[in-house]
Amino acid sequence: MNPREPDMASFDPDALEPRQQYKLMSGTIIPRPIALVTTLAPDGVANAAPFSLFNMVGVDPPMLMFSLTPRAGEVKDTGRNIERLPEFVVHIVDEGVKEKMNICSADFPPGTSEIDFARLRTAPSVKVRPPRLVECPAQFECRLIDIIKVGRRPNHLVIGEVVMMHYREGIVDPAKFYVDAARLAPIGRLEGAGMYTRVTDRFQMGRPEIPGVPATSG
């Protein structure tokens, strides 16, 4: 063994229960951004739920993804709604809206609007039918690209194209497309039950300049 290698705790996921896998994965891949997603049920009732298995996929076009874990073997309402109406709005959550976001994570029966229960204010979207939540600092209207089923349970990986972007006044410099992280002020999920973080402790590190190696751009 390399004498400089630190002592490690190592795990073979095949020997772990899904719950143990979840604790290691969700406690390690931190912080995670939170998508508060609105969808529309066939009866016209708008649904909102938060998802932290969420990230950017790429651009041209702008694309994002979030992952739905099954609930008692069933697809959650957000997934069922998107399967029927392939449109949704992804909202970034800040401290002002965090309690309302949390209320939306409760297991309301289908047909109950978390949006009404949480007293979230809505506005019509421009290109999709589910409404926007106006209290959230950024709102991305999305059309479904694909739902990919992954894993044995399975998870539903929802991939969407961002077709319209809205920001609260003062967050984006429209000349430079610079997003002011301090003004966006998103919160993120950390390990365990109910742990969150702020984006208040930032530092800068440019891409490396290595002689003979082309400058990195992507």
Ligand X SMILES: Cc1cc2nc3c(=O)[nH]c(=O)nc-3n(C[C@H](O)[C@H](O)[C@H](O)COP(=O)(O)O)c2cc1C
CB of 151 to ligand X, least distance (A): 12
Nearest to ligand X of 65, 172 (CB atom): 65
Nearest to ligand X of 64, 172 (CB atom): 64
10 Å CB burial of residue 187 (0-12, 13-18, 19+) is: buried
Nearest to ligand X of 93, 171 (CB atom): 93
Q: Does 26 bind ligand X (CB under 6 A)?
A: no
Name the token pair of 154: 């399975």
Helix (H, G, I), strand (E, B) or coil at 98: helix
Which of 33, 34, 120, 141 touches ligand X by CB under 6 A?
A: 34
Report yes or no: 86 and 37 within 8 Å, Cβ to Cβ: no
Q: Does 100 bind ligand X (CB under 6 A)?
A: no
The residues in 150-209 that bind ligand X, with binding defined as CB under 6 A, are: 189
In angstroms, rounded to a whole number, what is the distance separating the alpha carbons of residues 216 and 108?
A: 47
Helix (H, G, I), strand (E, B) or coil at 79: helix
Binding residues for ligand X (CB under 6 A): 34, 47, 49-53, 67-69, 71, 76-78, 102, 105, 107, 189
